[in-house]
A and B are shown apart, each in its own frame.
Chain A
Amino acid sequence: MRLNEHPVLRFERGREVTIYFEGQPIKAYEGETIATALHAAGIRVLNYSPNKKRPRGLFCAIGKCSSCLMVVNGIPNVRSCITLVEDGMRIERQHGRSRLPTKAKPPEFKDAKVVKADIIVIGGGPAGLMAAIHASRAGAKVVLIDENPRLGGQLVKQTHKFFGKREQFAGVRGVEIAKILEKELRKSENAEVFLETSAVGIFQEGEEKLVLAVRKERELIEFRGRAVIVATGAMERMIPFENNDLPGVYGAGAIQTLMNTYGVKPGDRVLIVGAGNVGLILAYQLIQAGVEVKAIVEAMPKVGGYFVHAAKVRRLGVPILTRHTILRAEGREKVERAVVAQLDENWMPITGTEKTFEVDVIALAVGLRPSIELLHQAGCQIKFVRELGGHVAVRDGWMETTVRGIFVAGDSAGIEEATTAMLEGKIAGIAAALRLGIADESWVEEIEKAQRDLDEFRSGPFGRRVAEGIRKALLGGVAGE
């Protein structure tokens, strides 16, 4: 199941270690997550649901959905998708809700370590990295935190070259962009990075913003600053169908994580649901990893992503069934088949059009929704904007929300592209430094340039819809729904 050869990626694995799954030794590599090591060993069922005892596996693989909770060294509710393996680790499937062992000693609030900075950036994807780079260039002391073990967000699993203009990294693969941005940030003496660190709340204490976070699921840290930039990305959507919780029904991003970040094949035969850019790109990446893609089904009457991404997989023989949907997954404890059907004009399955695909993975690429939990909790005004993928924070042209000193950028501000996330991150980073009186006024020109670049990027048919959404999300903008 492990990939060694790949046309684009090189997999560098760490030292070999042994972990114990339900008492059985399993080979793993330092630097990979528990769920990755288990998947490479063919283990897909990670826990059983509390009420109906249904088997559950990975879904998002980036720490957001809690579908992968396991008991690790006796501690329950550990997100196995973002927790790295350690030699000798004991891992068990979790059965429903689970209690902390009585002798476990959770950290106390008074023990929290305090880290001070001017600006705290939450999220180390394209938006957060650009925000941190530009805020530190503008003179601010920056702390960037991310709950994943690597920087780069979803860039680290993108093998395709980016669109846009060359000054915005067009023609460069996502995985390479992540490396460039990380290098740039690490160069800065003003910036500090905390990985495997989850922000759990944003509070105001006098003049200070307090971001409470948990590192490696056990160490409390208080990040104290004067501005916060939230760049927490997005969460994959799920759609209702029979057995949609069967292990092997994965979010597209989870498959990319397994395959492109850690070099583990998600399975042998895949059905993809959704012909937007994510589904189309995933199909191509699966073929690059030597996995067979049986078909892509899409409920809309047309390909939703870029035509060129569709053409790439069509010419390698992948059928795209528009006006089709998935009816159910079948299998015992794991996906063994997928049943799809054609849709009529009222979006109802047409009897007699059912087709069965023998697959061991069903990839859901049915859209994303912004991760706004922290913004919501912090009291930022939230608005439902369909064009931006759901509920988003109301913001001004400098990406500042209705809570002064809290900024937003990237997919957490509205689902779009990594290219625009980087531009928004740049705006938010500079704007936060300006707001704190750290950057001088010449930086305003940089914001204006990024705004012009965004307008240009959004001027086509794909961007116009987003631009319409942004007008609704702007402070004092047009009425929403």
Chain B
Amino acid sequence: MSEIPSYLQRGYITPEELFSIIPKPSEERLRERPVAVPECPQEIPCAPCREICPTGAINMPTPNDLPIVDYDKCIGCSLCVQICPGLAFFMVHYVGDKARITMPHELLPIPERGEEVVLLNRVGEPVGKGKVITVVPREKTKGDTPIITVEVPIELAWDVRAVKVVRE
């Protein structure tokens, strides 16, 4: 069974596994502006990210190839995050000692701008709290999926991939 990738045995991928499959954006690039990072390590027939990218930054010769983002061409527009049917695209932006993570959020309630939310890692464990800094509602996105950007401690940039809205 050694040939089965461990992410398929567990149902989630670690940053180390992810960056053994796709390149990691440089620290410099991460500070410059938001950059799209797909967590899509498996060959599946799907191409909307490549089709919607306004700068042709996503390299994918056929729909069954993995999306490889040219981080220098990516302008951080978030259209891929909005359209991705697998909800597998995220954007990361380092700002000072924080990281801003842009992610899809298809659950109720939709957080509000400025709201403090519980940060969840890839197995749904709470790892801290963060502030939502932008919300693009469903009807305003190109992909029918609401997206949010949440500010997290920079050391959690590659762990936080969902949030939980907790209201009294």
Contact assessment for B108 and A6 in the assembled complex, using a CB-CB cutoff below 8 Å: yes
Q: Which of B4-12, B29-37, B149-157 contacts A (4 or more CB under 8 A)?
A: B4-12
Contact assessment for B8 and A315 in the assembled complex, using a CB-CB cutoff below 8 Å: no
**Neighbouring A residues of B48 by C-beta, 8 Å:** 165-166, 170-171
- What is the count of residue pairs linking A and B with beta-carbon distances less than 8 angstroms? 146
How many interface residues does chain A have, given as a range?
35 or more
Known: A314-B11, A317-B123, A462-B44. Is A308-B39 also a contact (CB below 8 A)? yes
Of the candidates B8, B52, B85, B162, the one whose C-beta lies within 8 Å of that of A303 is: B8
Least Cβ–Cβ distance between A17 and chain B, in angstroms: 29
Least Cβ–Cβ distance between B21 and chain A, in angstroms: 11
Give Cα A317–Cα B120 distance, bound, in whole angstroms.
9
Contact assessment for A462 and B45 in the assembled complex, using a CB-CB cutoff below 8 Å: yes
* B43 close to chain A: CB less than 8 A: yes
Contact assessment for B106 and A288 in the assembled complex, using a CB-CB cutoff below 8 Å: yes
Known: A315-B120, A316-B124. Is A7-B9 also a contact (CB below 8 A)? no
Give Cα A7–Cα B41 distance, bound, in whole angstroms.
27
Task: Kindly report which residue of chain A lies nearest to residue B82, judged by CB atoms.
Answer: A171
**Neighbouring A residues of B59 by C-beta, 8 Å:** none
**B side interface size, CB within 8 A:** 47
**Neighbouring A residues of B110 by C-beta, 8 Å:** 7
Least Cβ–Cβ distance between A450 and chain B, in angstroms: 15
Give Cα A163–Cα B84 distance, bound, in whole angstroms.
9
Least Cβ–Cβ distance between B136 and chain A, in angstroms: 14
Give Cα A308–Cα B48 distance, bound, in whole angstroms.
15
Known: A163-B86, A165-B47. Is A306-B42 also a contact (CB below 8 A)? yes
* A271 close to chain B: CB less than 8 A: no
Task: Kindly report which residue of chain A lies nearest to residue B107, judged by CB atoms.
Answer: A7
Give Cα A461–Cα B42 distance, bound, in whole angstroms.
9
* A320 close to chain B: CB less than 8 A: yes
* A20 close to chain B: CB less than 8 A: no
Contact assessment for A275 and B85 in the assembled complex, using a CB-CB cutoff below 8 Å: no
Question: Which residues of B approach A to under 8 Å, CB–CB?
Answer: 1, 4, 7-13, 39-48, 51-52, 62-64, 83-88, 106-108, 110, 120-125, 138, 143-146, 161-162
Additional pairs, 14, CB under 8 Å, beyond known A308-B40, A310-B8, A314-B11: A170-B46, A171-B85, A288-B106, A302-B4, A306-B42, A307-B8, A307-B42, A308-B42, A315-B124, A315-B162, A316-B120, A320-B10, A459-B64, A462-B45
Pairs A–B under 8 Å by Cβ, sample size 7: A163-B44, A302-B4, A306-B86, A307-B11, A307-B13, A313-B11, A461-B42
